[in-house]
Chains A and B, each alone.
Chain A
């Protein structure tokens, strides 16, 4: 029973991180069919910014880092992604791959390739103890903040003018533009939101891992990327569910696999991804309008 609860909390918190990442990638993908590989680098840079500013005051570091990541997201859209906006999804994918690599090695040049230890919000590492159950405060925080963010995003998308425009653009970009939705503005809002999500992810990853390295975002972006696709291309709820799906599968495999199979955990996760792609190429939880048209 004790283990079961711990596994569930574990799965939920890992899934929450993946869901936030998948949502950050999915928001942009829905509108412009761009898989933003560089999302992982947004997270990485957010973490480095926390480290650079933390000496002053932790809440200030959080705010400044978030703002910087949002600015970076908007800047990369303007410089790299806007010129290729009308190219094929594959070209845009390669572009984001290049942006990701560029940012990663920019930080190798600045901070060096070696991982740096960095303790942030150390209080979150301690567990809540309820009887025999020990649950790290961090995991609870991740799940709680994710729920709040998802609720806020849902409100934004359904109630605000920009939110409705974004959903319209995701459904049918050309039609939305014909009806007066400003393409540049909607895409900028999507990138800004994606930046906020990356900033929040950066905080949690930093607290959880305790080390920073320029390559730290890659794995996360890959998972987010996969979660977006198997969740259903372009469906935001699908991206969130896809993130939780991968989180749960990962934790269950970690738990359920016999010891000698543990090193192969990722292989099983990605084999599952291939199976989903083949069996349901439209994704597990597909939006109605996501079909590629001839």
Chain B
């Protein structure tokens, strides 16, 4: 086959799935930035979730293997960055048992974030070598077991993590715009990965593992690669969360966040990047509305407040409805379609 430049049509259609989502996201964020501070914080939180969900999607969506273990990489990322960029004056008081090379050192937050992603990626590679041999239920349990191990070690190792109490003093640099840039970056990586040779091979194995092997796909290797990329992106989510709240805590990165991120991905549709993004946006909006109900709504002189727990109840209910009535998720596992009017405007042939 001869290498050639893509035609205009191919180029437009090729970047469309990513570009359309990015535009939608930027518009939504721009609208939120005009709103009150509370809304901006909610939007920032949603963008951090988006980083996590798209990161999770890179593995789960492309490989079709469910992971209950990705919260472990958020934890590794969050604590990894905290060890490096919490100011020495905090460490010397709050975490005085840290080994000297961490306790007496202070790195630039950007450097710390990169290092934390590498730290999580290295663990993903090591644990991926054995775990990626499993599929289906075995993989779900294997990854969950890994999450438990990481949780127990972080919760138990008091000198390094402060145990079950929070590790405070993280520099707070994450605002709406930082989170938006991170989300766009993660989406770009996810899209490049899923359209790469390796990503396509992995998606083939998702559809039919035996057939993919028969045409020469090394499923194990492709899964490890996506697991590592996915872990690094999810770790970035953990880093952002830590530097948004100024604190990390082991319970932040355990079953609760595992459920929420999987719910977002399943509701949107595990099979496409659009599913990951739309699922996160939709679920965040619903969750925020339910949270306001929990806080109480003023109707005239009356304040109606729903009992605590309504948010999780609503999420679980939405997830059950989706699984029963639309098991492939809201997007049905497809990317956003290329609208016909845009094709006509650009003078492209309709398909």
* A residues with CB within 8 A of B: 33, 35, 80, 83-84, 87-91, 93-95, 97-99, 101-102, 104-106, 108-110, 112-113, 218, 222, 225-226, 229, 233, 263-267, 270-271, 273-274, 277-278, 281, 292, 294
A91 to B319 alpha-carbon distance, docked (Å):
11
Given A90-B140, A270-B149, A105 and B313 touching (CB < 8 A)?
yes
By beta carbon, the residue of chain A nearest B259 is A101
Q: Contact mask B46-77 → A, CB, 8 Å, 1/0?
A: 00000000000000000000100000000000
Interface residue? B179 (CB, 8 A)? no
Q: Contact at B319–A270, with CB atoms within 8 Å?
A: no
Residue of B141, B255, B324 near A229 (CB, 8 A) is B141
A113 to B262 alpha-carbon distance, docked (Å):
23
The B299-331 residues at the A interface (CB cut-off 8 A) are 307-310, 312-313, 315-317, 319-320, 323-325, 327
Given A94-B66, A264-B152, A109 and B141 touching (CB < 8 A)?
no
- For A102, list chain B residues within 8 Å (CB): 313, 316-317, 320
By beta carbon, the residue of chain A nearest B143 is A274
- For B156, list chain A residues within 8 Å (CB): 263-264, 267
By beta carbon, the residue of chain A nearest B294 is A109
By beta carbon, the residue of chain B nearest A107 is B309
Chain B interface residue count, CB cutoff 8 Å, equals 41
Residue of B130, B152, B310 near A274 (CB, 8 A) is B130
Q: Contact at B155–A263, with CB atoms within 8 Å?
A: yes
CB proximity of A129 to chain B, nearest CB, Å: 35
- For A106, list chain B residues within 8 Å (CB): 309, 313
Q: Given known contacts A109-B309, A263-B155, what 11 new A-B pairs fall within 8 Å (CB)?
A: A35-B137, A80-B320, A84-B324, A108-B313, A109-B307, A218-B255, A233-B137, A267-B148, A270-B145, A274-B142, A281-B138
A40 to B323 alpha-carbon distance, docked (Å):
21
Residue of B138, B148, B262 near A94 (CB, 8 A) is B262
Interface residue? B274 (CB, 8 A)? no
A32 to B72 alpha-carbon distance, docked (Å):
30
Interface residue? B266 (CB, 8 A)? yes
Q: Contact at B316–A101, with CB atoms within 8 Å?
A: yes
- For B255, list chain A residues within 8 Å (CB): 218
The B109-129 residues at the A interface (CB cut-off 8 A) are none
Residue of B152, B259, B323 near A95 (CB, 8 A) is B323
A84 to B263 alpha-carbon distance, docked (Å):
16
A229 to B141 alpha-carbon distance, docked (Å):
8
- For A222, list chain B residues within 8 Å (CB): 144, 148
Interface residue? B39 (CB, 8 A)? no
A87 to B326 alpha-carbon distance, docked (Å):
12
Interface residue? B134 (CB, 8 A)? yes
The B interface is mostly helix, strand or loop, or mixed, namely helix
Given A109-B308, A267-B148, A89 and B323 touching (CB < 8 A)?
no
- For A109, list chain B residues within 8 Å (CB): 307-310, 313
A93 to B262 alpha-carbon distance, docked (Å):
12
Interface residue? B131 (CB, 8 A)? yes
Q: Contact at A281–B134, with CB atoms within 8 Å?
A: yes
Q: Contact at A97–B145, with CB atoms within 8 Å?
A: no
CB proximity of A235 to chain B, nearest CB, Å: 14
Q: Contact at A105–B141, with CB atoms within 8 Å?
A: no
- For A87, list chain B residues within 8 Å (CB): 323, 327
- For A265, list chain B residues within 8 Å (CB): 152
A104 to B310 alpha-carbon distance, docked (Å):
11
CB proximity of B252 to chain A, nearest CB, Å: 16
Supply 5 A–B pairs (Cβ within 8 Å), ascending by A.
Answer: A84-B327, A101-B319, A105-B309, A108-B312, A263-B152
By beta carbon, the residue of chain B nearest A82 is B324
Q: Contact at A267–B149, with CB atoms within 8 Å?
A: yes
Residue of A94, A104, A233, A263 near B323 (CB, 8 A) is A94
Interface residue? B133 (CB, 8 A)? yes
A257 to B285 alpha-carbon distance, docked (Å):
47
Interface residue? B210 (CB, 8 A)? yes
A99 to B259 alpha-carbon distance, docked (Å):
12
Q: Contact at B316–A226, with CB atoms within 8 Å?
A: no
- For A110, list chain B residues within 8 Å (CB): 307
CB proximity of B63 to chain A, nearest CB, Å: 11
Q: Contact at B133–A278, with CB atoms within 8 Å?
A: yes
A61 to B309 alpha-carbon distance, docked (Å):
27
CB proximity of A69 to chain B, nearest CB, Å: 19
Q: Contact at A98–B323, with CB atoms within 8 Å?
A: yes
Interface residue? B146 (CB, 8 A)? yes
- For A93, list chain B residues within 8 Å (CB): 66, 137, 140
Q: Contact at B137–A229, with CB atoms within 8 Å?
A: yes
By beta carbon, the residue of chain B nearest A80 is B320
CB proximity of A108 to chain B, nearest CB, Å: 3
